[in-house]
Amino acid sequence: MKKVLFVLILLFIINCNFDYAYANDILNGITAKSAIAIEQETKQVLFEKNANIRLPMASTTKIMTAILAIENNDVNKEIVIPAEAVGVPGSSIYLEKGERLKIIELLYGLMLSSGNDAAVALAIATSGNVSSFVSLMNKKARELGMYDTIFSSPHGLEMGAHYTTAKDLAILSAYAMKNELFKKIVSTKEISIRWTTRNYNRRLVNKNKMLRNYEGADGIKTGFTKRAGRCLVTSACRDFRVICVVLNAPDMWTDTKRILDYSFNNYQKFHISAKNNPLGYVNVKSSK
């Protein structure tokens, strides 16, 4: 008979001073229609509010666009901007037809300035046309277990059924943050990229205020449409990484800070060595 040895167990445990009244205050004070916080590695839920209801997600859609563009392209490849990527409604980096930019430059335009035109350019560069790229987005969603998500565009402007849940978006973000290039891009506060049809560069400033206002924040994406409301996906890393999603959140910055504070204040991560605890037990103060 083969012996099975568990080399490492990852365990989250609530601190012994956990205050349920405080937890209820946090829940009642969150303005978001839907919210969740998970630990990135284990995907353990640390906080949730209506986390499984389907809602539009605006430009947080671009998290999927970015990770697919990274995984399916040589990011240093230079492309010619097609006509379809010019004049796309909404937020823009003002691409011009025939302009030449690298995939990596478009990725910064996508995630820092939330360029809808950059999203279209990346979709076409990756799959040949927007429709094929949207199919790739939905295929990837199924692979990741995002069963309550449907994409209809690469930028978040709805062109048919287009929705997700806070839980699905957290799953996607936990996956994307494992990619070092993605993590580097979304943690960048500002950068300049070329504007090859002009004699000066584009200056891109990240719209995500969490990068400047919250200790440990290193991503990920803001979003807004009238229908979706204010949406924010945040990654923050201290002793462990928390992915926080708030959808349709009138006070998305405060909501996110409160949820992250709650997560870091009430959870600790323990690595249990099988060498020292052969049965997988660990002593927990004031508990059985």
77 is catalytic: no
Find, among 146, 85, 139, the residue nearest to 116 by Cα.
85
Find, among 224, 242, 265, 253, the residue nearest to 48 by Cα.
242
Quote the tokens at residue 7: 């080399």
Residue 100: half-sphere exposure toward Cβ, Cα within 13 Å: 3
Length of the chain: 288
114 is catalytic: yes
Residue listed under structure tokens 């037809």:
97
Catalytic residue among 49, 62, 183, 257: 62
CA quadruple 174, 178, 182, 184: dihedral positive or negative? positive
Catalytic residue among 34, 91, 113, 114: 114
102 is catalytic: no
Q: How many CB atoms lie within 10 A of CB 198?
A: 11
Residue listed under structure tokens 């392209």:
73
Quote the tokens at residue 258: 């409160």
Residue pair 244/36 in contact by the 8 Å Cβ criterion: yes
Catalytic residue among 34, 59, 173, 263: 59
Give the E-state strand segments of 104-213 in sequence order. Answer: 190-193, 202-205
Active site residues: 59, 62, 114
